[in-house]
Every structure is written in C-alpha cells, then in structure tokens.
Amino acid sequence: MKTRITVLLILLSCTGTGAQAKKDYSKHNKGYFCDVGVAFGGTFPKGTDPKAILEVFTTQGYQFSNTFSLGAGLSTYNTENINIYLELRFNLRKTTETRTSFPYISLRGGYSWSTWTGDAWGDDRGPMEELKLGWSFYTQAAKLRWSVFAAPSLYQFHFIPKIGLAFEF
C-alpha cells in the first residue's frame, strides 16, 4: 500500500511539471500551478504517547492572480492514511520579477481516511484543517521557486504542529 501511495503522489506531481516546462517561476502568473512538499511534525493525542509525523503532499490548482490561488491536493501522514483537501492561498505581497521572496498564508480543509487501523480500510476517518504560514523564495541560479512554512493543523481532532518545505511549479 505504501508503494501505491508514493507512486500516485509522484505521478500527480509529474503531470503538472511536464506541462509547464517553459513557465517563468520568478513570479506567480495566472494559470495552472503545482506544488510538491514534505512536512515534519508531531501529534499529541490525549492519554497516549506523542507520535512523530512525516507528511508528503502535492497540490494542483489554478492561480487566479499573483496574490490568490485555489487548488486541490492529496497527502499522506506516515503512509498510514490518505488526506484529500482543498487549499486557498493568499500571497501577502504582489509578486514581481524583482522581488525574490514574499510571505503567504493558506487555508487547507479536507477529509482523511486511514489505511491501517480498524477491521477494514478507512475505518479511522475524519476531518482535517490547517492554517499554513509561509515564505516563498525564488532561486534565480536554479530557476526554482520554493517555500518554507509552519502549519498548526487539526487532523481527526488531534493537534499537529508542523514545519515543512515545498517546491512550487
């Protein structure tokens, strides 16, 4: 099951990058976007020991202006579940070719299905919400846009603080 989830995430992320090979990443233009990333955090359920979390995610969507985008995504925590979500992102400054970094805020909401617990697939399921505060950078030498973020999130009513790294296409 872990291999299938990993292959699915890679295929989804590669679809967007191949289609946008000639795009200028120094600013956010209107049109299709894709981001792929990883986040590290921990969950602190009441009455049990804390657990480390590794999240792998990809978001595909549309950039409506250089300050607003809307996308849908897929992620997994420790390959133990599948999360499907919608994400609204607001860049807090207008992006231009001369500005190489800017802060952003995004809101993510969706639903999660467990792949391992319970008698049948998906027995452990519930909502997920996340507020992501980040900073996006453009590295001119590599022609690459990437971001770092902190994200307090609620996953199936458990608090999960996370930090992460994403690559934006």
- Could you tell me the end-to-end alpha-carbon distance of the chain, in angstroms, rounded to an integer? 27
* 10 touches 18 (CB < 8 A): no
Per-residue pLDDT at 37:
95
Phi/psi for 4 (5° steps) reads -65, -40
Per-residue pLDDT at 106:
96
* 149 touches 131 (CB < 8 A): no
* 136 touches 156 (CB < 8 A): no
d(CA 87, CA 108): 4
Per-residue pLDDT at 141:
81
Residue 7 scores a pLDDT above 50: no
For residues 19-32, average pLDDT: 62
**CATH architecture type of domain 2-20+31-168:** Beta Barrel (2.40)
* 88 touches 107 (CB < 8 A): yes
**What single letter denotes the amino acid at residue 137?**
F
Phi/psi for 17 (5° steps) reads -70, -35
Residue 132 scores a pLDDT above 90: yes
Residue 147 scores a pLDDT above 80: yes
Return the minimum-mean-pLDDT range out of 1-5, 14-18, 51-55, 56-60: 14-18
For residues 42-64, average pLDDT: 86
What is the number of helices (H) and of strands (E) in the chain? Answer: 1, 8
Residue 71 scores a pLDDT above 60: yes
d(CA 29, CA 121): 40
Q: Which residue has the higher pLDDT, 47 or 136?
A: 136
**DSSP state, 95?**
-
Q: Which residue has the higher pLDDT, 1 or 81?
A: 81
d(CA 129, CA 67): 22
